[in-house]
């Protein structure tokens, strides 16, 4: 099994599981809030947000590896092949630089929030550094991986 295929399967399983868990938890909270309020966890919406945040950001590597990220496709179609390659290299370079800076800033933010020991207001008391802030540097690192090891097209 090729590495890209294995990564796709793992990502699909993880992202799909996170989304399904978010939907199930949100539906459970909605139903119990109406039918049995005592059974509604005070942290349900909080965890749903974490799950949606992580599942959304984790899609970045695959989109980037498949070059499904933002590009100037309308302009690209009008260009000759050499100019298309130059434009693609420029877009990859700008994306790489942006993601590298965001990775660094995300690590700094995560370290800062971890030092503050900021926690959620629910009974879960989830450390915000890991539930929220760590998602950005993890996603940026994966996107950088997607830029370095693009998926084979076709």
Supply 72's token pair. 């100037």
| Beta-carbon contacts of residue 70 (< 8 Å; ≥ 6 apart) | 91
Confidence of residue 68 (pLDDT cuts 50, 70, 90): confident
- Backbone φ and ψ for 67, nearest 5 degrees, come out as 55, 40
What pTM was computed for the model?
Answer: 0.85
Whole-angstrom CA distances from 86 to 66, 72, 73, 80, 89 are 18, 12, 13, 10, 5
60 in Cβ contact with 146 (< 8 Å): yes
Decide if pLDDT at 32 tops 70: yes
Stretch among 27-31, 128-132, 143-147, 150-154 having the lowest mean pLDDT:
150-154
pLDDT confidence of residue 1: 57
For 12, other C-beta atoms within 10 Å of its C-beta total 12
| For residue 78, pLDDT beyond 70 | yes
pLDDT at 22 over 60: yes
What is the number of other CB atoms lying within 10 angstroms of the CB of residue 74? Answer: 7
pLDDT tens readout for residues 93-122? 999 999 999 999 999 999 999 999 999 999
Distance CA 47, CA 62 (A): 24
Judge whether 24 and 16 are in contact, CB under 8 Å: no
Mean pLDDT of 77-82: 88
């Amino acid at each position: 099994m090729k590495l890209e295929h294995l990564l796709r399967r793992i990502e699909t399983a993880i992202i799909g599981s996170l989304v399904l868990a978010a939907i199930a938890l949100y539906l459970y909270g909605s139903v119990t809030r109406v039918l049995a309020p005592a059974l509604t966890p005070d942290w349900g919406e909080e965890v749903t947000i974490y799950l949606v945040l992580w599942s959304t950001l984790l899609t970045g590597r695959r989109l980037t590896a498949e070059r499904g990220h933002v590009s100037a496709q309308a302009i690209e179609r009008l260009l000759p092949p050499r100019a298309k390659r130059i434009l693609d290299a420029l877009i990859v370079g700008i994306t790489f630089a942006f993601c590298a800076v965001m990775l660094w800033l995300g690590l700094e933010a995560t370290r800062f929030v971890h030092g503050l020991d900021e926690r959620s207001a629910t009974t879960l008391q989830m450390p915000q550094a890991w539930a929220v802030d760590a998602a950005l540097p993890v996603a940026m690192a994966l996107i950088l991986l997607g830029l370095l090891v693009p998926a084979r097209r076709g």
